[in-house]
């Protein structure tokens, strides 16, 4: 088959959000403590078990009335919906932000990781900002890691173009950051 007849199908991109969450589950304790514990001394609390971490991840579950309002989820694979920012908690939201075709066999996948905390939770007893610690921990843990692409996930404008940035977000009840990281993908691994 001619290389010109082969096109990138982006077959594994739907797994990237969960791959990122799974990597964090296995490789960072600080983020999970800051997600679970809504107190200023969250960093001094015990590490979570894998089961406790998994219980914070939303996988489509609903309560008996069909909603998720009273459920303990803090990690999602979708962006922030309206009204969600009023919950007095910290959330992590990991989702596909966009695709850029670089040619017919290689594309760039842009991932967005939102860090969202109710404004009442921002300051820790160390005088540090909860969201800034999570942002730094995400960069330390994920930058340069393989999430299933042909290149590693990175926070690198030179390698990945204009899409990589971290910027501050706010609303009436919350503050947070959107961290944008990228990697390259191709179904033709042997050709790259």
Domain chopping of the chain, boundaries? 3-191
Instruction: Write down the pLDDT at residue 2.
Output: 53
pLDDT at 72: 83
Average pLDDT, integer, range 157-167: 73
User: Mean pLDDT throughout 125-135?
Assistant: 98
pLDDT for the residue numbered 3 = 53
Q: Averaged over 138-167, what is the pLDDT?
A: 87
Q: What is the pTM of this model?
A: 0.89
Burial of 113 (0-12, 13-18, 19+ CB in 10 A): buried
The pLDDT of residue 173: 86
Q: What is the DSSP track for the chain?
A: --GGG-----TTGGGHHHHHHHHHHHH-HHHHHHHH--STTGGGSPPPPHHHHHTTB-SS---TTS--TTS---EESS-PPTTGGGSSSEEEEEEEEEEEESSSS-EEEEEEEEEEEEGGG-B-TTS-BHHHHHHHHHHHHHTTB-SSSSS-BB--HHHHGGG-EEEEEE-SSEEEEEEEEEEEE-S-GGG-
Question: 188 forms bridges with which residues in the sheet?
Answer: none
Question: In this structure, what token pair is assigned to residue 80?
Answer: 């922030």
Q: What percent of the chain has pLDDT over 70?
A: 84
Q: What is the mean pLDDT of residues 72-76?
A: 92
- Which structure tokens are listed for 170? 């706010």
Q: Is the pLDDT of residue 190 over 70?
A: no
Q: Exposed (0-12), middle (13-18) or buried (19+): which is 56, by Cβ within 10 Å? A: buried
Predicted pLDDT of residue 185: 95
- What is d(CA 2, CA 20) in angstroms, rounded to the nearest whole number? 34
């Amino acid at each position: 088959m001619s290389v010109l007849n082969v096109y990138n199908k982006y077959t594994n991109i739907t797994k990237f959000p969960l791959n990122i969450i799974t990597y964090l589950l296995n490789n960072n304790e600080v983020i999970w403590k800051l997600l679970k514990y809504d107190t200023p001394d969250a960093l001094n609390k015990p590490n979570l078990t894998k089961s406790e971490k998994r219980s914070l991840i939303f996988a489509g579950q609903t309560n008996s009335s069909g909603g998720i309002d009273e459920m303990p989820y803090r990690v999602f694979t979708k962006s922030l919906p309206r009204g969600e920012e009023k919950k007095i908690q910290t959330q992590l939201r990991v989702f596909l932000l966009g695709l850029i075709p670089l040619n017919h066999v290689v594309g760039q996948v842009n991932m967005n990781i939102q860090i969202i905390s109710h404004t009442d939770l921002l300051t820790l007893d160390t005088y540090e900002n909860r969201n800034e610690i999570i942002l730094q921990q995400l960069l330390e843990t994920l930058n340069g890691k393989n999430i299933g692409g042909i290149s590693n996930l990175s926070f690198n404008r030179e390698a990945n173009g204009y899409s990589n940035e971290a910027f501050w977000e706010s609303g009436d009840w919350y503050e947070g950051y959107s961290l944008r990281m990228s990697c390259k993908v191709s179904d033709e691994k042997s050709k790259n």
